A = this chain, B = another copy of it.
């Protein structure tokens, strides 16, 4: 039996055997149980699930010292960052409680029977219902915010779907501890069945995607791993939706007036953003487009100075550190690419270190490896001379999660068409800011066309993330007594939600 081991990310030492890899038989039983748990979550109703999500947040808060301690040991991300991540995760659980209490996410729609130019039309009532049990793959780089607890799990539970979570081998002990806190929260809310179950090991991950009970998959990770599991999900006898958030080569455009006015400030902000979490963010800026000429030179030189002063950092796993070292060195030796600056050497010989690196590249290099994401603290400077060259450069970039623009009003003529070009290929456009940092909010979109994600219609962060776990059902001429509560003409107390009735949107309490 293959064993799953917890490692100390600072020393690389193996610490403890946490679990055995999940066997095929055990996996099948877990997925069956998740189907039963989904039915319980659905019956619980929106109010009951909101109570459960809050109780889960409470339990995670109560276990904070233990969870953050384990996560820091397994990720080396530091207690400040990890405390912030746990806070985010708890807020997110409460946010989805708010989303389902609001109820507009159900898209409740009523068309009363009536005559049309096509003849009489029956009474039709539509709303969204949970898909059933789903699989969630934890990410290496966010052990608390995109893992066993996190956006996928919170939104799926809110929707009424039980979660089978594939534990990332970078933080198995953290995952177990979080799962216990979540289970404690659901028990306190009176839920009997396990609504979040864990599975361990890569074979179990593939079997999870293939399990006939599983109705959809949420994934945060690499392009290679995500594409491979997307292919499995799409090749099933009954294919299922696969929501893969695969990272991106995020571009930052600095327009000439902005470069002149606040070049040093932009350089400092960029250096901090691309090196945040040792460059291990899917929204890490990987490319910066600077104007030709003096203003651009100033930003480039300030960036080089800033990067030269950055320390090396501990990366999440041995494999990630090795892949980054190989990837950054391959980029540095690519034709048309020059190294502008490197951060300090590692402070010790043990540990999985990553050294920040700033490159300068010719546009043609985008057709090589420079055009793909390199996961870790590397940033490449490219130059453009005017709107035409900028347009050509932008058209060579792959779709991405984000695009960022630093500009002043004087830059509008250059920037307006560039914004149009960028927003046609990314999920979020950032103005005079940095792409790292993805707020949990109603208006957030964290997604984008492939290869940013495997499903351009959906988001993994923000209120709309719940839509991934729901499908519509229309009830035709059903008697009131058998309709879901939210679709009755006069919903009982607690069941009034925003609805479209006979073509008109109506807010609850405002009929």
Give chain A's interface residues, CB within 8 Å of chain B. Answer: 84, 87-88, 91, 98, 102, 104, 107, 109-111, 116-118, 121-122, 124-126, 129, 131-132, 215, 230-231, 234-235, 238-241, 409, 412, 415-416, 419, 423-424, 426-433, 439-445, 447, 449-451, 454-457, 459, 462-464, 467-468, 470-479, 481-482, 498, 500, 503, 505, 507
Decide: A457 near B426, CB < 8 A? Known: A443-B109, A482-B419: no
Name the B residues within 8 Å of A98 (CB-CB): 503
Residue pairs across A and B with Cβ atoms less than 8 A apart, 29 shown, are A88-B118, A98-B503, A107-B464, A109-B442, A109-B463, A111-B443, A122-B439, A126-B443, A126-B464, A131-B456, A215-B449, A231-B234, A234-B235, A240-B450, A412-B482, A415-B482, A423-B473, A426-B473, A427-B472, A427-B473, A427-B474, A428-B473, A429-B476, A431-B482, A433-B477, A442-B503, A456-B471, A457-B467, A457-B470
Decide: A117 near B131, CB < 8 A? Known: A234-B231, A426-B473, A443-B124: no
With beta carbons under 8 angstroms apart, the residue of B215, B445, B481 that contacts A473 is B445
Contact yes or no, B416 A477, CB < 8 A = no
Cα distance, A440 to B444, chains bound together (Å): 32
Cα distance, A419 to B476, chains bound together (Å): 12
Q: How far is the CB of A90 from chain B (nearest CB, A)?
A: 9
Contact yes or no, B431 A459, CB < 8 A = no
Name the B residues within 8 Å of A132 (CB-CB): 424
Besides A102-B503, A415-B482, A419-B478, 5 new A-B residue pairs in contact (Cβ under 8 A), listed by A number: A124-B441, A126-B462, A239-B454, A431-B478, A433-B477
Instruction: Give the dominant DSSP class at A's interface.
Output: mixed
Closest B residue by C-beta to A91? B117
Name the B residues within 8 Å of A239 (CB-CB): 230, 234, 450, 454
Most buried by B among A111, A423, A482: A482
Name the B residues within 8 Å of A475 (CB-CB): 423, 428-429, 431
Contact yes or no, B473 A449, CB < 8 A = no
Q: How far is the CB of A307 from chain B (nearest CB, A)?
A: 25
Q: How far is the CB of A483 from chain B (nearest CB, A)?
A: 10
Name the B residues within 8 Å of A424 (CB-CB): 129, 132
Name the B residues within 8 Å of A481 (CB-CB): 412
Closest B residue by C-beta to A131? B456
Name the B residues within 8 Å of A454 (CB-CB): 239
Q: How far is the CB of A407 from chain B (nearest CB, A)?
A: 9
Name the B residues within 8 Å of A231 (CB-CB): 234-235
Name the B residues within 8 Å of A440 (CB-CB): 118
Cα distance, A476 to B126, chains bound together (Å): 33
Q: How far is the CB of A187 from chain B (nearest CB, A)?
A: 26
